């Protein structure tokens, strides 16, 4: 009896040790995973790519009011997939204006191609250097690292390390990997006028240091609140999707009132209005 209990304790301890060691062991995605899945989540603790079984399906045609930005992102991505030189992309600006949706829609726009998208959550950002090996080991595919809501607080020194990661340091970043990010901040780190009025001998260096991370993105596109015309066009689009058959004048009047109450005009607010109107919320 004693031996059995002792063995059970030993097995339990070994199992815990195995799980702990698993956190520090690389779990590269298999070739089958890369072939059979278009989207992945990066697990920074396990250093593993987790396939997304049900990737989002957003049609580029459903993204209204951002035609110029959409065209630039599509063109850059098409060049990248075809093996040409392309830029990292930063989409910054007002919330709800389609920044994240524009990147996600690339999965639908380029389905059937070599494009693979890897979403990296903020807590795992500094571990993404491990993904370089996956890209280098799969040269037939083109990888986009999707950094959603990408920003750092002023007192977070991690942005300096992120600059090194994006530059590669002594390690060359694989040519089949790009960074696409969204942020509410143009420079990814909050900047203020006092940065230019500090006790530093060269106060401009403080500002330059803060904006240098954004410089790693060759394409930086701003997103702003939509015009009334663009907003109502999006309302009409969602009205069709939700089966709303109300008179246009009534629909638009209520949509404009909804936008004033919500504090802005954007795609997210337009969809929230359509959903509320359709179901009487």
The secondary structure of residue 122, as a DSSP letter, is G
Taking the C-alpha atoms of residue 63 and residue 266, their distance in angstroms, rounded to an integer, is 11
Burial class (CB in 10 A: 0-12, 13-18, 19+), 12: exposed
- Order the strands of the 39-43 sheet from edge to edge: 48-51, 39-43, 115-120, 142-147, 177-183, 89-93, 219-223
Q: Give the integer Cα–Cα distance in Å for 237 and 149.
A: 26
Q: What does each C-alpha distance from 226 to 72, 188, 256 come to in angstroms?
A: 18, 22, 12
The CA distance from 161 to 126, in Å, is 8
**What confidence tens digit (pLDDT) does each residue in 101-159 have?**
999 999 999 999 999 999 999 889 889 988 999 999 999 999 999 999 888 776 666 77
Q: What is the pLDDT of residues 20-69, one digit of tens each?
A: 544 444 455 566 689 899 999 999 888 899 999 999 999 999 898 899 99
Q: Which residue has tokens 């002023």? A: 154
Residues 6 or more apart whose Cβ sits within 8 Å of residue 193: none
At residue 206, does pLDDT exceed 60? no
Fold of 31-223: Rossmann fold (3.40.50)
Q: Give 85-104 as a DSSP string.
A: ----EEEEESTTSSHHHHHH
**Model pLDDT, residue 259:** 95
pLDDT tens for each residue of 156-195: 667 778 888 888 778 889 999 999 999 987 877 766 545 5
Listed in sequence order, the residues at least 6 apart from 76 whose beta carbon sits closer than 8 Å to its beta carbon are 86, 87, 89, 219
> 213 in helix, strand or coil?
coil
């Amino acid at each position: 009896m004693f031996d059995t209990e002792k063995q059970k304790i030993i097995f339990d301890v070994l199992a815990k040790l195995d799980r702990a060691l698993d956190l520090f062991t690389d779990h590269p995605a298999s070739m089958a995973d890369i072939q059979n899945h278009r989207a992945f989540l990066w697990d920074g603790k396990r250093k593993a790519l987790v396939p997304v079984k049900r990737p989002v399906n957003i049609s580029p045609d459903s993204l209204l009011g951002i035609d110029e930005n959409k065209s630039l992102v599509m063109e850059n991505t098409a060049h990248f997939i075809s093996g040409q030189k392309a830029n990292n992309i930063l989409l910054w600006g007002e919330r709800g204006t389609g920044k994240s949706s524009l990147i996600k829609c690339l999965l639908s726009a380029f389905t059937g191609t070599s494009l693979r998208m890897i979403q990296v959550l903020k807590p795992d950002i500094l571990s993404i250097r491990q993904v370089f090996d996956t890209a280098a080991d799969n040269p037939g595919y083109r990888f986009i690292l999707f950094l959603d809501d990408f920003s750092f607080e002023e007192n977070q020194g991690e942005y300096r390390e992120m600059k090194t990661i994006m530059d590669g340091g002594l390690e060359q970043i694989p040519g089949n990997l790009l960074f696409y990010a969204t942020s509410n901040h143009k420079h990814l780190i909050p900047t203020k006028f006092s940065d230019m009025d500090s006790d530093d001998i060269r106060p401009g260096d403080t500002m330059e240091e803060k904006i240098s991370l954004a410089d790693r993105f060759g394409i930086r596109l701003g997103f702003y609140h939509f015009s009334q015309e663009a907003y109502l066009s999006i309302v009409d689009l969602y009205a069709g999707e939700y089966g709303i058959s109300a008179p246009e004048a009534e629909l638009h009047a209520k949509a404009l009132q909804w936008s004033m109450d919500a504090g802005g005009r954007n795609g997210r607010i337009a969809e929230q209005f359509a959903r509320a109107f359709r179901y009487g919320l």
